[in-house]
Each structure stands twice: as C-alpha cells, then as structure tokens.
Amino acid sequence: MSFRPSALPGPFRIDRLVEFEGPFRSATHLFPLATDAEVRATPTWQDDRFYDRQRDLLVMAFHALLVRTPSHNIIVDTCLGNHKPRPMVPEWNERSGAFLEDLGALGLRPEDIDVVLCTHLHADHVGWNTQRVDGRWVPTFPRARHLFARREIEHFRERMQNEGPAIHHGIWQDSIQPVLDAGLAEFVDGVHDVVPGVSLHPAPGHTPGCVMVRLFDGTSTAWLIGDVIHHPMQVDRPDWYSRFCEDPPAAVASRVGLLESIADSTTRLIPAHFPNPTSVRIVRTEDGFRVLTD
C-alpha cells in the first residue's frame, strides 16, 4: 500500500509501506495519564479514522516511509520486519509480510535504497534493517548508508550491555549489530544534513536520541516525526506521554515545541503510527491544537 500526501514539498515523493493498520491498543493503555472520560472528551475520539468506538481502541498504523528525492531513495523507519521473534507482542511476532514485494511494486529493489534513517531504535522502527538469509540476519539494504543518532546508539548499546541482549525484544542482535558488522552504519550528532533537502533534528524524550526527519524544498516543509506524536489524540492532549517514553517531561516538551512551531502553517506532519490519512497539518484552537487532514 502506498500514498502520496497532498501538498508535499515539490521534488519529493513519499510512499507508505504498511505492515499493520487497524484498531490496536486502548488509549488508557498507551497513555498512562488518560482516563476513559478524558479520552471521550477529545475531538479525536469522535473521528472514525483514528478511533474505533465500538471496540474502544486507537486506530494505528505501523509503516515505513519511502522518500524519493531527485537524487536519492531513502527509507525512514524500517518498521517490524519478517521472521523477527517478538513473543511479547503477538501482532509483531514472526511476521511474514509482503514488505519487499510492496517495495518492488513501487519500482525499487533493496539495492536501490541509498539511505536508511531510523528515528529511534524501537522494534517497530528497525525491523527491515535486516532480513533472515540462511539462518543469519543480514542487512536488507546492502548499499545503503544507515544513519543513526550517536546518542541513540550509545544509549541502547549501554542498556544492552547492562541489562542483557533481551532488552527491547532483542533488537540489538537481530536488527542493529548486523548493520554495524557490515560497515554500513554512520553515527551523527545534532542537526545533520543527510542529502539535499533532507535533514535530521534531535527531539529527545520518547528515547534519549530520537530524531525527526525534515524535508524542505526551499519553500514548503514536511516533518517525518517517528513517535514524537504517536496518535492524533496526542495533538488534542500533548501532555499525554506514551507508556514507552523514556523521559516523559522531555517527550512532552519535544511534542509541544513541534506543535507550536508548525501550527497554522502549511507544514505537514507525517508520523510513524498515524493511520490513513497519515499526513496532517496542525491548527491552533482556543484550548490547544487540532489535526487538519486536508
């Protein structure tokens, strides 16, 4: 499945490679501060595209974003991957989806990907960094530069060494180390220009080194923000951090700062878990912010 968000910066094309889309988790589970009454009071609760009121579940997507610039093919967040053992999350466990076939349908082979960007190192953002070949995990995109925020890599390496290789579903062994071993990884600091028109920007909180990807054509801007906003309900309630945020106050500050900076502009947000329509704008209201899906 793919999409072409309206009003994207001129020379860029973005397609969405979807591994899951549908009702997924309750709002009170994902957002520890939320109560049922507060969830029902949000505008997003009334929007069928983003909330399944019958089942009382957030509608969410898990997708990678394929960004084609005039000069480069880039994958932002490599989603879940196939055959990854993730027994803690049934929807993620030992998948065998059509990700590479979907990429092929968009006219690209794995070796056509020039750059891989992971906004952060959670299991649903690094999966297709590798694929299983003859029982070994090998990089899926053999020619690609894989850019990681140095802060993020150091944080997860440290946690892996202190807490053991099972942390975060064992991603280090099956989705990070093989990329490092293949010499395909580059570590970057702060704001970093990736290729013309594409840059990385720190947005700490969800994880210590998480970054957002900015597309800019000289006039208009789109931000691919990973999990800085998980769900449209967090635009209604930016104070609701997720249960997976490592530093909740910093996560809220990064989210509010982003919303403040783009409200009432033409800038588009393309988060990692917004279901269709994934690309939104932000407008300011009397009491905060709302998503606009024009």
Binding positions for Zn ion, rule: CB under 5 A:
124, 227
Closest approach of Zn ion to the CB of residue 124, in Å: 4
Minimum distance from CB of 284 to Zn ion (Å)? 26
CB of 224 vs Zn ion, minimal distance in Å: 13
Q: Which is nearer to Zn ion, 197 or 271 (CB)?
A: 271
Look at residues 243, 244, 270, 248 and name the one whose alpha carbon lies nearest to residue 61.
Answer: 270
d(CA 113, CA 73): 5
Nearer to Zn ion, 93 or 220 (CB): 93
Least spacing, CB of residue 236 vs Zn ion, in Å: 19
Q: How far is the CB of 27 from Zn ion (least distance, A)?
A: 16
Nearer to Zn ion, 9 or 63 (CB): 63
CA-to-CA dists, residue 241 to 40, 63, 151, 229, 234, angstroms: 17, 21, 21, 9, 8
**Strands 145-149 and 185-188, sheet pairing:** parallel
Residue 69 or 175 having the CB closest to Zn ion: 175
To the nearest whole angstrom, how small is the minimum distance from the Cβ of residue 28 to Zn ion?
18
**End-to-end Cα distance, the chain:** 20
Name the one residue in this structure whose structure tokens are 């591994």: 19
We find the least distance from the C-beta atom of residue 162 to Zn ion, in angstroms, to be 23
Look at strands 73-76 and 57-68 and give their pairing: antiparallel
| Closest distance to Zn ion from the beta carbon of 227 (Å) | 4
CB-nearer residue toward Zn ion: 122 or 151 = 122
Nearer to Zn ion, 108 or 149 (CB): 149
Identify which of residues 114 and 227 has a Cβ nearer to Zn ion in the complex: 227
Q: Which of 114, 110, 112 lies closest to 140, judged by CA?
A: 110
Nearer to Zn ion, 103 or 245 (CB): 245
